Amino acid sequence: MTSTRREFLQNSAFALTVGSALPGARPETHSSGVVAAAPFRPVVTPNGATAPHRIVDGVKVFHLVAEEVRHTFAPGLDAFCWGYNGKVHGPTLEAVEGDKVRIYVTNRLETATTVHWHGLYVPSGMDGVGGLSQRSIEPGETFLYEFTLRHHGTFMYHSHHDEMTQMAMGLMGMIVVHPKSPSGPPVDRDFVYMLSEWRVIPGTRRPDPNEMTDFNVLTLNGKIFPATDPLVVRRGDRVRIRFGNLSAMDHHPIHLHGHSFTITATDGGDIPESARWPETTVLVPTGSTRTIEFVATEPGDWAMHCHMTHHVMTQMGHGIPNIIGLDPSLIDEKLTNAVPEYAAMAQGAMNESAQDLASETPPNSLPMVGGNGPYGTITMSGMFTIMKVRETEPSGDGGWYAPPAGTLARPATEAELSRDGIPK
């Protein structure tokens, strides 16, 4: 009964929403959450979108177009990547367990491609491994994938033709299949993230797929902090966050501040309640998904980030000498003395503004970490975002948290130091 009603509501809602999208036309993506009437809590893809679909004879029809996309990782850094439907990464495919889906894939790249449905039960011929499950989709061709979603969970889709290149270029996206019969407490917020890594050499405008170890752009849904949208929730909300990782070479331990959570599912299925344990960090291996749930009990601005410290940096070089312990003015002085171009550059910078002497960097590069915070520069970038827990339904991005009196770290006073016997 419930399921029938849900299916009914769901189908009519989607049909209304995307009724204008004709097959063959380039599908428009739109921000998720528009299907408010859906019988499930629609998933939100921060900085991303949910793919639209139409219902044809009870089948959900999606259309993915693989193409080159000029993608902005954060203002100041963009690149010619590959994505789906004009997006990097592709839009989230969202459906319900038991749905029949037809997914058209049009190849507008200059090279062949396929799409693999990572974690889904599909007929072997629909698995998308180029050469093994099918012949690859040549440029200009449109292929049809058709199957029934036999189980729920968090899955991924990605190119399975010349993976090394095509995934390094960004050809991937998330799949969310809601359960036909939900169990457990319903969530108030449902977020989904694709974790990935890139090599974009400062001054270039194209990811380098040949890189094996030194990735310098680590993204949450294709963005780096400070361009990552914050997660804005209300205190007491039950929050679900789904992570998928399709990084070339790295696993990402995602750490959430201020809360502990439970890992409830992988792309292999739900974890039985008896097997769950509390965590503050979830390791998301590459080629896997992890879903966590918690109640946002603590008001404030809370960091959520990969705990591998180099993954919260951006394009800093890794082959440079270690200059810790050196008077930084020494190198400045030597360069000024011996390299007239350096002296001129420093002079130019001083004339322009009171910036650092060494302010001129390559075009299209974000070598310096950081975004502006309420108390100064947040010296983080890459896989970093902020969960904003507010007492009431916040508007916009929630602004900065205003800590109640006495709850903000500050310099110790003389009296406090002496009271507690702390030497100055």
Partner 1 sequence: MRGNRGLYLWVLGLCSCTAGLENTAHIERDVRTRIEHRTGAEVGDGTADWQKRAEAECRPWLREPLTEERAVRVALIRNASVHASFARLGIARADLVQAGLIANPILDLNAKFFRFGSEVEVGLAQPFLDLLLRPRRRAQADADLRASEARIVEEMVALVYSVRRAFAKQRAAQSAFEVASHLVRAAQSSREVMDSLAAAGNVIKPQQTEQEIVQSRAQLSMARAEAQQIEAREDLTHLLGLFGEDAAWTLAPASGERRFEPGDLSQAEARAVAASLLLEQRYAQIDAVAQRSGMGATEAIFGGRSIGLAAKREVEAGWGFGPAGSLALPIFDSGDVRDEAAEAALRVELAELTQDAVEVRSTARRLRERWISRSRELRYRNAVLQPLHTQLVRDVLTHYNAMQVGPFDVFSARIRELRAQAELLDAAYEADLARLDLEELFAGHAPREMQEEWRPSMFLAMSGE
Task: Give me 142's structure tokens.
Answer: 């449109």
Q: Quick check: 156 binds Cu ion (CB under 5 A)?
A: no
Q: Which of the 8 DSSP states describes residue 311?
A: G
Q: Quick check: 325 binds partner 1 (CB under 8 A)?
A: yes
Q: Which does 308 bind (CB under 5 to 8 A by kind): partner 1, Cu ion, none?
A: Cu ion
Q: Quick check: 328 binds partner 1 (CB under 8 A)?
A: no
CB atoms within 10 A of CB 31: 13
In the three-class reduction of DSSP (H, G, I as helix; E, B as strand; rest coil), residue 108 is classed as coil
CA–CA separation, 380 vs 130, rounded Å? Answer: 39
CA–CA separation, 281 vs 210, rounded Å? Answer: 30
Q: Which does 317 bind (CB under 5 to 8 A by kind): partner 1, Cu ion, none?
A: partner 1
CB atoms within 10 A of CB 65: 19
334 sits in which H/E element: helix 328-338
CA–CA separation, 112 vs 130, rounded Å? Answer: 9
Q: Quick check: 327 binds partner 1 (CB under 8 A)?
A: yes
- List Cβ neighbours of 342 (8 Å cut-off, separation of 6 or more): 335, 336
- Span of 19-27, 120-128, 246-254, 281-289 interacting with Cu ion by CB under 5 A: 246-254
CA–CA separation, 366 vs 352, rounded Å? Answer: 20
Q: Quick check: 283 binds Cu ion (CB under 5 A)?
A: no
In the three-class reduction of DSSP (H, G, I as helix; E, B as strand; rest coil), residue 274 is classed as helix
Q: Quick check: 252 binds Cu ion (CB under 5 A)?
A: yes
What is the footprint of Cu ion within residues 305-334 (CB under 5 A)?
306, 308, 311
Answer yes or no: are the C-beta atoms of 198 and 215 closer than 8 Å. yes
Q: Quick check: 380 binds Cu ion (CB under 5 A)?
A: no
Q: Quick check: 11 binds partner 1 (CB under 8 A)?
A: no
Answer yes or no: are the C-beta atoms of 264 and 270 closer than 8 Å. yes
Q: Which does 418 bind (CB under 5 to 8 A by kind): partner 1, Cu ion, none?
A: none
How many positions of this chain bind partner 1 (CB under 8 A)?
33
- Span of 19-27, 114-122, 250-258, 291-299 interacting with Cu ion by CB under 5 A: 250-258
Answer yes or no: are the C-beta atoms of 189 and 238 closer than 8 Å. yes
Q: In this chain, which of 185, 319, 396, 423 binds partner 1, going by CB under 8 A? A: 319
Q: Which of the 8 DSSP states describes residue 110?
A: S
What is the footprint of partner 1 within residues 150-209 (CB under 8 A)?
201-203
Q: Quick check: 321 binds partner 1 (CB under 8 A)?
A: yes
Nearest to partner 1 of 83, 226 (CB atom): 226
Minimum CB distance to partner 1, residue 195 (Å): 24
Q: Quick check: 338 binds partner 1 (CB under 8 A)?
A: yes
Interface ranges with partner 1 (CB under 8 A):
201-203, 315-317, 319-327, 330-331, 334-335, 337-339, 341-342, 345, 358-362, 365, 367-368
Interface ranges with Cu ion (CB under 5 A):
252, 306, 308, 311
